[in-house]
Amino acid sequence: MMTHTNVGKPELTPMAQRFSGCLTATFFWILILCLLPTPVLADTPHPKPGDTQPEQAATPLAALDDAALKAGIAHRLRTARGDRDDRFKQFSSAHVRIEKKMPVHISDTLTVFAVKLRITPPVPDAPPEFITLVVDDTGTLQIGGIQHLATGSNLVQDAVDQVQAVDISDLPPDFGKPIYTGTGPHTVIAVSDPFCPHCRKGWDFIKLNLDRIHTLRMAHFPLNQAAETAGLVMADAFHRQVMVFDIIDYTYTELDPSSDPLEIVKQYMAAFPDLAQKWGPAPETALTYLTDRFLTRIKADQHTIRTLGIHSTPVFFIDQTFIKGFNAQKMEAALP
């Protein structure tokens, strides 16, 4: 006969009961503390995005593959123009020079480059051409504007503006005609088309700030035949030193920008009859007189301006500051 022995639960001693309760409480508080956020002291520095931590090495910026970029540009121009002009079939990387380049670090994995290229056409006496691009570091991909999604701001525009800038030290000593000397401390050089509306706004700004200007020089850069006619008249006034400032002011404020060169001459003859006495009695003879004497100078000035990489107007040099386009805020800041 099998005997079954009933074994009851062992009773815990008072000491064991207290120990078991302590373990339970300990596990409870450990769990609570794990769920709480880690406290941070008030003076503990918080790392910012992009900051390099002491234990981390800075990610090196990418380098532009200059050779690949020049080869790609050469191939593109050779293909685009070679069918129209046999001389471009010999176009190579040797005709491409990187004038300026500026890296733009977009993120840890993306660096692009704003570049200004000088193109020397394989054509005798042809002026250089300038191209501004944004490319990747391999020099094989052209990239458009990169915008911040939330704000819409162009992340590469500042770099593009900087590589497009012309250094005032690159200007010829006689660049622009001096048309005003005042008591202010600043030197201003304006490159403008007399029929460009933004150039006219720039002229209005300059007139309002003549008290800040010591020397004002103007380099007229007419972009069509009618504007060239206005340039001929201003060249004649400067050559003869007759009412130079008044005629320039009239050109940028009152002259109707007609597309007909003869109409342009008629307006000047009516506004400045004394100036027109040497031109002949009719607009046709006046235009011939002005063209024979000053068109070559106008063309030479245009060539000089294009050689500097300036292809649009207006452009302002205020002391050492280069300003592309009319920007009253930047011009104001450059004329303290």
pTM of the model: 0.70
With cut-offs at 50, 70 and 90, classify the pLDDT of residue 42: very low
How far CA 218 is from CA of 194, 248, 285, in Å, comes to: 11, 9, 27
> For residue 228, what are the domain limits?
169-334
Q: Report which of 63, 74, 73 is spatially closest to residue 101, judged by C-alpha positions.
A: 63
With cut-offs at 50, 70 and 90, classify the pLDDT of residue 204: very high
Is the domain of 231 the same as that of 302?
Answer: yes
In this prediction, residues 150-178 reach a mean pLDDT of: 89
Kindly state whether residue 255 falls inside one of the protein's structural domains.
Answer: yes
Is the domain of 175 the same as that of 249?
Answer: yes
Is the domain of 107 the same as that of 199?
Answer: no
**Count of all residues that appear for the chain in the document:** 336
CATH code for the domain in which residue 213 is found: 3.40.30.10
Domain boundary pick from 112, 147, 164: 164
How would you classify residue 5: left for phi > 0, otherwise alpha for psi between -120 and 50, otherwise beta? beta
Asked whether the predicted pLDDT for residue 298 surpasses 70, the reply is yes
Q: What is the pLDDT of residue 101?
A: 94
Angle (deg, nearest 10), helices 244-253 and 197-208 = 130
Is the domain of 220 the same as that of 241?
Answer: yes
Over residues 220-259, the pLDDT tens digits come to 999 999 999 999 999 999 999 999 999 999 999 999 988 8
Percentage of the residues of the chain whose pLDDT score is greater than 90: 65
Is the domain of 155 the same as that of 265?
Answer: no
Kindly state whether residue 205 falls inside one of the protein's structural domains.
Answer: yes
Cα 188 to Cα 221: distance, rounded to the nearest angstrom: 16
Cα 208 to Cα 188: distance, rounded to the nearest angstrom: 13
Cα 322 to Cα 241: distance, rounded to the nearest angstrom: 29
Is the domain of 98 the same as that of 206?
Answer: no
Cβ atoms 221, 202 nearer than 8 A: no
Asked whether the predicted pLDDT for residue 18 surpasses 80, the reply is no
| 238 against 25, higher pLDDT | 238
Is the domain of 224 the same as that of 282?
Answer: yes
Please tell me the total count of domains within the chain. 2
Is the domain of 81 the same as that of 187?
Answer: no
Q: What is the pLDDT of residue 67?
A: 96
Cα 133 to Cα 144: distance, rounded to the nearest angstrom: 8
Domain boundary pick from 116, 142, 164: 164
Is the domain of 180 the same as that of 143?
Answer: no
Kindly state whether residue 38 falls inside one of the protein's structural domains.
Answer: no
Is the domain of 198 the same as that of 305?
Answer: yes
Asked whether the predicted pLDDT for residue 170 surpasses 60, the reply is yes
Average model confidence (pLDDT) across the chain: 84
Cβ atoms 277, 263 nearer than 8 A: no
Kindly state whether residue 46 falls inside one of the protein's structural domains.
Answer: no
Is the domain of 301 the same as that of 182?
Answer: yes
Cα 23 to Cα 186: distance, rounded to the nearest angstrom: 82
C-alpha 46: how far from chain center: 35
Cβ atoms 113, 137 nearer than 8 A: yes
